[in-house]
Chains A and B, each alone.
Chain A
Amino acid sequence: MALAQQSSPHARKARSTSRLMLWVILATVPGLLAQTIFFGWGNLINVVWCIVIALAAEAAMLSIRKKPLAFFLKDNTAAVTGLLLGLSLPQFVPLWVSAIAVIAAIVMAKQLYGGLGSNTFNPAMVGYALVLISFPVAMTTNWAQPGLLWESAPGFGETLNLLASGQQTVVDGYTMATPLDEYKHKIATHTAAEVLEHPTFGEGIARGWEWVNAAFLLGGLVLIGLKIITWHIPVSMLAAIAVMSLAFGSNPDQYAPVTLHMLAGGTMLGAFFIATDPVSAATSHQGKLIYGAAIGVLIYVIRSWGNYPDAVAFSVLLMNFAVPFIDHYTPPRTYGHHKARRGVPGKTQG
């Protein structure tokens, strides 16, 4: 009788990393659905394309690194990276641009750093920032005009053709400036009321965008409910954006209103699905609060006073730099200790 020899604990909860990632993927479905309804087929095509490229790039890198393919591919993390890029790129961005973003994410930001768990920076945001800087035209002029899928947007085949054509800009009529972009550039010369007449805002806060953000918020709440993410980063990030907006941008004739900050652009996707990437985020509860809040502040600063209309990617990447530092100074207080041991061993003692 050969008895199994194992180290304790012997009982395990059956919730694997690949299962967690699957839940993350499922939680984006409402958002993707809303994007498709209001902005056409672009995001869906992007998502599928990006996932395919991501898996291919991951597989290529794994085979170069002589790692078992199946074991690593089934953790679903490459798929999540592709998915997040597909969700955040403009609807009409050429396929080759999104491919570059995905390859940069998987090859540079993830595998060259040592693969899953070893990346300092959020891979999807590295890819996003790279193409945003390299191909600013393709990345800013290709946002779909909001409208219901069954009414105005180009059909699936036409969308695919446009994406595959390789043109950096798509013929007008299908695209439109994003609400944040529109507001940022018009408010200098117009009043708030005049700016809001633009069709991108629609009748609510930001046509289409408000639903997309609400759907990502819903997905995010599901993740919190399933204890796949904690509330700390999303809440502190959203709170920071709100506080910044109310403190510095309360005048709508000067700055975008708080509702626009919350429900336009990549705010909710960023708060629940991107900033919460555990590998590149801070660790402890306190650290997460600081990390999330700092991202929120940076998003507001860049949106209001920087060159870019949206800023999730840059803010997340900037805070990725700060994570080791935050982690050193925010460990929790351990049971039986008076206070937390902050800092680096040998330098400060708690």
Chain B
Amino acid sequence: MAEQTAPPESTGTPGAIAAGPPGPASEARPDKPDAAVVRDALGVGIAVGLSGFAFGVTSAGSGLSLLQTCVLSLLVFTGASQFALVGALAAGGNPYTAAAGAFFLGVRNAFYGLRLSQLLALPRAVRPFAAHWVIDETTAVTLPQPTRRAARIGFTVTGLTLYVLWNLTTLVGALGAEALGDTDAWGLDAASPAVFLALLAPMLTSTTERVTAGLAVVLALTLLPVLPAGVPVLLSALAAPVVLFLMGRKRKGPGDGKGSDGTVTQRKKGERHS
């Protein structure tokens, strides 16, 4: 479940999302047949679910056991956090900094949940179970649906497909990695950075995101040789508040309050994809 978010209208390529706002406006189709929603949901669920294979291989290659790898996919079930955790552990980070990095990446799901909760209007008793499926892909499929019924179908079908496939392919990937032996010889240590890059690319929608990413890279590489493993990545997260602060100051200069309002709207639109 690579956190790559493919809107249902797209063909599932990460690049298609980079454009930001989803294609057709939801108002354009007030009466969407259930079958169309299911088709959207299956498309995203299957395409992304298969990438659990990359996680299984990476996790096993990082030295985690089969059980540990599968527990992560079963119980964490949010791809970027899973990759970050096994990467940090493989680099020799202590468990707390490793978990902190994974947690910070998972925080965005809280914001997805906020949007979904209004749309799905789930009974309180169901929410603790539905929460496990609140991730990029389910959000991307659910938010554009025109009705509550369509939203609920989209959420459930995407969540179920993705959960089943992600866990199966994790298992297959981990078993495959064990059979391969030295995963580095197969270039599999490059799977994880490639995944991160693929997740990152669609988020780089404006200068703010690009500057933040650039600053984070500089911070991470500068701090890497001097700080314990895991810490540089955590400190790189500071790029976000720093850039927000600097951009905020820059906006206040020439314009008035209106400029920042515009930015907020823009960000809200893009937010579901990040």
Whether both chains belong to one complex is answered with no
